[in-house]
Structure formats: structure tokens, C-alpha cells
Chain A
Amino acid sequence: MTARAAALWRALARGWWLVAVILTVLYPLGAFLFHGRIFQHVDKEAVGNSLGIAAAATAAALPVGFLLAWLSECRRWRGRGLTELACWLVFLLPSYLLTLGWQTLIERPQWMHTAVADAFFGIGGIVSLLALKGVPFACFAGRATLRAMGAEWDEVAAVFDVGRVRAAAIAARALLPAAAASAVVVFAESIQEFGIPATLGARIHLHVMPYDIYTRLATTPADFSGAAGLSVQLAAIAVAAATVHIALHLRFGATLIGARHRARHPVCPRRGVAAAGWLSAAATLVLGFVIPIASLMHQAFGSEPQVPVPWSSVASSLVYALLGAGLTLAIVMAMLRGGGASRSIPWVTIAMEGFSLAGMAVPGVVLGAAYVFAFNRGPVVLYGTPLLLVIAYSSAVMPMLVRLLRAPLEQIHVALDEAAVVHVADPGRRLLDIALPLRAGPLLWAGFMAFATMVFELPISELLAPPGRTPLAVSIVNLMQGMNDTAAARLGLAGVAVVGLLGAGLVGLASRRLTGVLQPGVGA
């Protein structure tokens, strides 16, 4: 092999992930979004509905989610475990199953034709469900910001005895940006939500941007230009939200410069505040998970389905998700390795941060539409193949995985790998006994999150489902739209059970075999 060829192979081995990101993310999005007539086709009704519903859902979710975040991070509060449980369960439950659970409950004779049913099958129902899904986002975003604050604000106010009013002003100054960051995240997630508009929204014929993009592509002939224009508008709103989020993060992050981060002094909350916290956590758990799941179970086992349950879609989705999660982990690990080596270059860090927030700016429906547009023509037509679906899943989940893995992997001290390079001669041993076990905890967690997201993924599945191998989410929504709620409930519960069992297995494995690995920083 010539020196030039060897150098090319080395460059390819190091930079293949960049080629993968360009081909699977930048190319389809660029081709699709630049095709759109950006502001010629402003669907005022869809834009207005989307903005209004997202704002209302944010207003409803923020007080609950941020209260839970504040109690969990800033106070000694026993409800932290319940909050954790509630938020993760609601976060992981797909929105269309949440909708189906409530829908089957409200459709019972004792509820139908009541004010509750009227409210549910309208804007109120959509806002309520979006707000329930928004609580975990508000809580997670708030906790991340509050955790970074440390205890200094409270301590300074206490030491200098600044008085109640000034102490409150200092606390507000500290808390407001954190609350604003939570609000921005909830707003962005709500405006991009596809599952609720595709089920409950479709039933009441509500025009919102994500579902309108889908319908423009699902009708014949497909309106690529209109869908692209609407996608650009949706992405622009999301980018604006992401920009506000970054600005708040940068502005607020500056408060930590020069400060030594210390754990907060455990202060118990006032009784009324604690009670409000307990109520909020319990309500989130019951309304966002327990009732919908109980209702689904009642529906699934209370009657016989009118149509055969397409069980094969569970297996299809498991295979797609397994392949997609593996592919995503490989790309993200290579990306973080390449990015980590160039960490001293500021634009690399900015690019990584920007990419990790891309999931917030580019909704799944836009990515799916871009794939339909980009891979439906040209020399290699991949549209309608399982391969394209897996690649699209991977592209959609990549930013989330970068966000999940970046910090934990960067915390693994470089000297631990260097010690292996210096002392362990066998490359296989270095990989299997040192490098992988050191990273096993974060990798398992991120892999599971990617897998669970892909099993239940809806908008991309709707647009790219390969004929004959329908993914789980598409089958469920098809059954719902055909009023076959029992079959949909059975299928949904089967998916939840499989993913839950896998998750429980991984947690058990991690806690028994990898306890040391899950304590970063030891020995380095």
C-alpha cells in the first residue's frame, strides 16, 4: 500500500463518522429544507394553533415541573424518589399511548356526553396531554440548571444577613433563568410533538404544524414544497427556542466561574411547599402513567379485538431499534472520540453543543420528510426499505445520544486509557478489560434510551415504514384511527412490557456487575 493510500485509510478510519453525519443528517435536511418556499406558504392556522397550544401546555407544565425540580435539587425532600419515578415513566411512555389510554377511558358510557369528554375531545384535551408530557422535560431541564448553581447563593445571603426582601431577590435572580430554560425546553418539545396531534388532533381535525407536514406528504400527489416550507417554519421556531436555551445556559453558566461547586446544605422545605410537591409528583405519576396504563389494560383484556393484532410489528420494531441503537452508538462514540481529541479547539466544542441541541431544533417529522424527499430519487433509491428506516432512526436519536454520553465519557480521565496504553500490551485486553468496562454504564444507559425511543418512534415510522414490515407505532396509530382500540391497547402494552423488561434487566446488570464503573472519577 502506498503512503498516500495508507494516509487516506487512516483519515477515513478517524473521520468516517463525519461522512456518516453528512450523508444521513446534513444532506437530506439541506436538500429538503432548501427546496421549500419558506415564507410563501405560511399556514396561519397551523402556526397559530401550534404556538398557542405549545404556550398553553408550557404554562401548565412549568409550575409543576419546576417545583419538582427545585424540591429535588435544592431541598431535603423525601419525594425525590417518587418524582424521579414519575418523570421517567411519563417521559418514556409514548404520547400516542398516553392519548389512547385516556381516550379509551373517556369513551366509556359513564364519561361520554359529559363536560369532561367535551373538554377532552378538544383543545383542552390536547393541551392537558401535552402538559403532562411536558412535566418531565420541565423537571429535567430545571434540575440540570439548578444542580449547576451550587450552594453559594443561599450561603452568601445567609452569611451577610441581607434581609428577606434582598434574599428573595437574589433567589429569584438565580432561579428565573433556570425556570426560563425549563420553559423553553417544554415549549420546544410541545410544538414539535407529533403523537398527540396525530391521534387526538386528527380526530378533532385540528391543524398543527407537525401533523400538517405529515398530511402534505401522505396525500397524493405529495406536496413536498409545502411540507418543506412548513418544516422550515417549524424548525425556525425550534431553533429560536434552542437559541434562547443556549443563551440562558451561557449567561447563567457564567455564575459558576471561579466558584467551587459544593453540594447544597440540606434544608427541609416548608410543610405547604412539600405537600404541593408530593401532590404534583403523585398527580404526574397517576395522570401521566397509572391511569393511562390501567385504562389500556382494561381495554386490552376487557374485550376481544375486532381485528387480528399485528404482533409481527413488535418483532419488526425490536429488530429496527436494535440495529438503529447499535449504529447510533458506533457513530456517536466515534464522533465523541474525534471531538474529544479536538476539545482544545473552541469551534469543535461549539459544534458538539450545537449538534447535541439539534434534536430540539429538528423534529422527527421534519427529518422523516427530508428522508422521503432525499432518498426517493437519484441513483440509489432507498425509500421503502428497512435500511432507510434504521438510518433515519439513528439520525433522529444521534443528538440525544451525544447529549447523554458527552459528559459521562469526558469525565473518564484520559490517564486511565493512557495507563492501559503504557502497561497493557494486548490490544484485545485493553479494549475488553479496560476501555469498554470503563464506559459500560453510560453506554448501556444511552443504548437503552436509543432503543426505547426507536421502538416507539412515530413520525419517522409513519413516513418511512417499509411495506410488509410495519413498525409498532404505525400499527398502533393505524388501529386507533380505525377505532380498533382493543387491538391497539394490546399491541401498545406488549411493546411497553418488552421494553420495560429489557430496561429492568439492564438496570439489574448495571447495578450488580458495574457498580465501580458507575462511580466516575475514582482513581483519576
Chain B
Amino acid sequence: MSAVLEVSGLGVALGGRAVLRAIDLRAGPGEVLVVVGRSGSGKSTLLRAVAGLVAADCGTIRIHGAVAADGARGVHLAPRRRAVGMVFQDYALWPHLSALDNVAMVVPGSFAGSRRRAGELLAQFGLQGAAHRRPGALSGGQQQRVALARALIGGSRLLLMDEPFSSLDAETAEGLRIELKVLARERGAAVLIVSHDPRDVWRLADRVAVLEDGRITQTGTPEELYRLPATPLVARLAGAEGRLAGRTRVNGHGAELCIGPVAIPGVGPNVGGGRSASALIRPQAVSIATHGGGIEAQRVTHTFENGRYRCYWRLPSVGGALFGLHPELPAPSVRLELQREHVFIYEDDHEEEQP
């Protein structure tokens, strides 16, 4: 399958500071690629570099096989010549134009013909009644649809979206995620979305790239990220919480984090023995020990969450705490068992901001 977008070794510096370093990405037709990262990680800069709004200092960007940017050769194709559609954060609809004219404006040719095509597309998006309203009179979901129509009407097969659902309520965002996924498949368009919202990863992405401090630290399918998160950030994205500190031990079964007399088994493929390390634990890893063993735990507080009890456990023998999800409210003092596949161990050279 030929790639719609290929980014190779991309580097961008802004104001003398390297914002993106050695970025490699690929998106094929009908594929939704979500780039996820914290604020300031370089997500928006990546999107703007692909759109041509900032220049690449090194590396190449190919769109439909053609070179759109080549830092080494000084090639920088103007944004309008890259044939991309873009949905800006907060949509950036032109406030002085109606929804219809916002879409028609980007179609070359006669204005009457443009308006007819725009009207048809807006009708497909269920906006025929709102076509003559200005953006200020549209709801957030309607604005999003107009922005999407504007990005698609040029027939672009590469759609760039900057935090597209961040200002929508959860229900509207969910509906639009499904619409977008279907639309990408139907049109064979590659969609590159940058987001900080984990829901965009789990409910929208075919592939995910995690951006940390200007570098891609992991790419893969959502399943791959869930099973083996490469960094603490990815682990948190995949539902791990808390942080227990200790030293590593590696045996025939895999890695363990040793805190005093307690050894916590976990997943840590890159972990060596005898290193200072931390463990991040998914709440579903935690269960009540029924046959002895386990770690002594005291329930500090609990909440009821979607049919289960979310408990905050203090572990006196370990000197830390963790969250657990339980079908029934457990006793205040219990012993806990942890499932290895939901515990992730990282050496402490993985610098991580405390949540």
C-alpha cells in the first residue's frame, strides 16, 4: 500500500530551540494516525510542518510520493500546493462568512459552482439548515462539521487535524469520532491527528505515535501500545497509575521491582538487574489475595465508578500507594495481589514529570 504521508528524519527548530528531532512517520490511505503527547511536546509543530506552515530544518516530508519539504535541499512547497485539508484547533472558521461561504471559499473556479458543491457537501454532513449561518451562530459540533467539510471539499487525501475534539462535549466528540473514521475509510484519506486526549488514541487511531520532548518514543497499533508501553508516558496513556520506587531484579519469569522484602513482578523488557526503577500499575492489576501471600494494604478512600469500586490503597510494607478496581467494596485491611501483565517497570533514567 503506497503511503499518503511519509515523514523521514524531520527536524524543526523554532527560535533557536529544537522542537522536533528525527521524526519518522507514515500514514496510508484510509488510515487514522494519532500523534499523542503532552503540551509542549511538539505535536502542533509537527502538524504545521506537514501543512507547510513552518519550514523543516532537516529531513523530508512526502505527500502522495511527491517531496513537499526537504530540509537539506531547502525545498519548501507552499501550503496551498501540498493538497492537504486541515482542521485547525477551535476550527478557525472565518467569522465574517456563512458556513456555506466558509466551505465554498476554498473551491477554485466560479463562485456559483463552488457554492453549489459546498451546499451539497454540507447537506451530506447534515448542515443544510445551518448553511447560511455565520460561525458564531453554530454549535461546537456544527462548527466542527463545517471545518471538516472545508478540509475535505478540495478532494484532499490527507487530512490534518489539530486537537479536533478538545472543545466539544463528550457525546458530540464521540459521534464525530465515528463519523470521521467512516469518512476516512470511504474516501481513502489518510488522517493525521494530534491530540493530548487518550480517548482519541483508543477510540479513533489505527496507528499511534507518541511524541515526547520533540521525539517519537513509540509507534504502533493501540494494541501494541497497550501491551508493551515503551515509556512511563505511554504506560500512563494506557491506563497505568501511581508510582512505586525500588530496585530491579531479573529472573527467569521476567523483571521484578524489589522494595525491601517485597518483590513486585512486572513487564520490563529493557530493564537490567540491580537498577533504581519505578513501577506503574493499572488498577485492573490489583486483586484481593485469597490464598495467603500478597502485599499488606489499607484502604484510605474509595469511590464508586461505573459499577466498580475504585479504592486508594496504602501499602505500609512498601511505603507507597496504588489504585485498585474491585467488583465489591473490599474490607479496610487486606492483602493485595498484582497481575504481572498490568505492572510496568522502568529504570529511573526515564525522566517523567510527576502527575
Contacts and interface: CB of A to CB of B under 8 A. Distances in A.
A519 B95 contact: yes
Contact of A523 (B52, B80, B91, B108): B91
A130 B53 CA distance: 52
A28 to B, nearest CB: 35
A433 to B, nearest CB: 6
Interface string B89-119: 1111111110000000110100000000000
Interface in A368-424: 413, 415-416, 418-424
A120 to B, nearest CB: 50
B208 interface: no
Contacts of A519: 95, 136
Contacts of A433: 97, 105
B13 to A, nearest CB: 14
B134 A423 contact: no
B115 to A, nearest CB: 13
B85 interface: yes
A524 B105 contact: no
A419 B88 contact: yes
Nearest to A427: B80
B310 to A, nearest CB: 31
A413 B92 contact: yes
A522 B88 contact: no
A438 B89 contact: no
Q: What does DSSP make chain B's interface, helix, strand, loop or mixed?
A: loop
B106 A424 contact: yes
A434 interface: yes
B48 to A, nearest CB: 8
B80 A425 contact: yes
Contacts of B85: 422-423
B162 to A, nearest CB: 9
Given A516-B134, A519-B136, A522-B135, A421 B92 contact: no
A514 interface: yes
B84 interface: yes
Contacts of A434: 94, 105
A418 B105 contact: no
A516 B88 contact: no
Contacts of A429: 105
Contact of A423 (B95, B97, B106, B136): B106
B86 interface: yes
B96 A438 contact: yes
A517 B134 CA distance: 11
B237 to A, nearest CB: 27
- Counting chain B residues whose Cβ lies within 8 A of the other chain, the interface size class is 20 to 34
B242 interface: no
A437 interface: yes
A422 B15 CA distance: 23
A429 B88 CA distance: 20
B90 A524 contact: yes
A344 interface: yes
A426 interface: yes
Contacts of B92: 413, 415-416, 418-419, 523-524
Contacts of B53: 418, 421-422
Given A423-B80, A425-B80, A523-B143, A514 B96 contact: yes
Nearest to B53: A418
Interface in B48-84: 51-53, 78-80, 84
Contact of A425 (B93, B96, B108): B108
A424 B111 CA distance: 13
B105 A523 contact: no
Contacts of B80: 421-425
Contacts of A426: 108
A516 B90 contact: no
A444 to B, nearest CB: 13
B108 A416 contact: no
B108 A421 contact: no
A50 B78 CA distance: 59
A524 B79 contact: no
Contacts of A413: 90, 92
Contacts of A517: 95-96
A344 B90 CA distance: 22
Contact of A522 (B15, B134, B151): B134
Contacts of B108: 425-426
Contacts of A424: 80, 105-106
Nearest to B134: A516
A474 to B, nearest CB: 41
B272 interface: no
Given A522-B134, A523-B143, A419 B86 contact: yes
Interface in A509-524: 514, 516-517, 519-520, 522-524
Nearest to A521: B95
Contact of A524 (B86, B95, B134): B95
Nearest to B106: A423
Given A422-B51, A424-B105, A415 B89 contact: yes
B154 interface: yes
Most chain B CB within a 10 A radius of its CB, from A517, A520, A524: A524
A287 B341 CA distance: 84
Contacts of A416: 92, 94-95
Interface in B119-171: 134-136, 143, 150-151, 154
B341 to A, nearest CB: 43
Contacts of B88: 415, 418-419
Nearest to B82: A422
Contacts of A516: 95-97, 134, 136
A517 to B, nearest CB: 5
Most B CB atoms within 10 A — which of A344, A413, A516?
A: A516
B291 to A, nearest CB: 54
A415 B90 contact: yes
A421 to B, nearest CB: 5
Interface string A498-514: 00000000000000001
A522 B97 CA distance: 11
Interface string A426-463: 10010001100110100000000000000000000000
Contacts of B93: 419, 522-524
Given A516-B134, A524-B90, A421 B79 contact: yes
Residue of B89, B92, B151 with most partner-chain A CB within 10 A:
B92
Interface string A143-163: 000000000000000000000
The 8 A-B residue pairs with the shortest CB-CB distance, nearest first, are: A415-B92, A522-B95, A523-B93, A423-B106, A523-B135, A522-B136, A516-B96, A419-B92
21 contacts: A415-B88, A415-B89, A416-B94, A418-B53, A419-B88, A419-B93, A419-B94, A419-B150, A421-B80, A422-B51, A422-B80, A423-B80, A425-B80, A426-B108, A433-B97, A434-B105, A437-B94, A519-B136, A520-B95, A523-B91, A523-B94
Given A419-B92, A429-B105, 7 more contacts: A416-B95, A419-B150, A423-B86, A423-B151, A425-B108, A516-B95, A523-B143
Interface of A: 344, 413, 415-416, 418-426, 429, 433-434, 437-438, 440, 514, 516-517, 519-520, 522-524
